[in-house]
Amino acid sequence: MTKETVLSHLQGHPWAEHLIVLATVGSTNQYLKELAAAGAPHGTVVIADHQSAGRGRLGRSFLSPKGQGLYLSVLLRQKPDLRLTPMAAVAVRRAILQETGLAPQIKWINDLVCGGKKLCGILTELCGDAIIVGIGINCSGIAHEAATSLEVLGAAFDRSRLAAQVIDQLSQMSPAQMQEYKTHCLTIGQDVQLHQNGTMRLAHVDDMDEEGALLVTLEDGTKERIFSGEVSVRGMYGYV
């Protein structure tokens, strides 16, 4: 995957002129933060063939072996919006479906899963007056109890074309996609563990509101609105 091969599938796209493709980087999100601070424009995209310090939510590391994934971050110059991560999940799901025919489900709030295993993670971060959305898709070489890849799932794909699909779908994100997120969110209707501020509580997910927050019922019958923390679905890779 090179800049030229990705650009060959992005002809005429408004973000094409701001595309950067690197052989290796610590983290595409961190690299793009530095570009954002230097004034990089809306729609700047950084793709790396390898990350030495890939990151996920809650400070977790994201394994990013050379040539085995799509590691991509985009810079958005817009107002902060709690719905951005869900909208990005819908965008990436559409891109994967379009490129491979696979139809991943979404585990609230930022994972795409197939067969109960993680296929993709999303990390959204504020950076001054900009927002960085990072995408990590397992393309090949991963198969264990918690994660899977496009290759393991038997999908035919081209990483450059998939990258272009992701970029195109991210450029079309809209709050109107929240219903699509809700439709494919496997967390709704599940018994879950809520991990917040070092505590764990059991709850049932009743629904999701228009901003992407979960509406849950706790064991004692109390209703709450959950918009942060980790939500682990019972039976999915041993509660992730």
Residue ranges of domains in the chain: 3-183, 187-233
Rounded distance between C-alpha atoms, residue 234 and residue 230, angstroms? 13
In this predicted model, what pLDDT tens digit does every residue of 60-83 receive, in sequence order?
A: 556 566 778 999 999 999 999 999
d(CA 190, CA 213) in angstroms, rounded, equals: 15
Q: How far is CA 109 from CA 19, 80, 153, 161, 231, in A?
A: 27, 16, 22, 26, 8
| Domain at 3-183: CATH code | 3.30.930.10
Residue with tokens 């990590």: 136
Return the CATH number of the domain spanning residue range 187-233. 2.30.30.100
The pLDDT tens digits of the residues spanning 75-115 come to 999 999 999 999 999 999 999 999 999 999 999 999 999 99
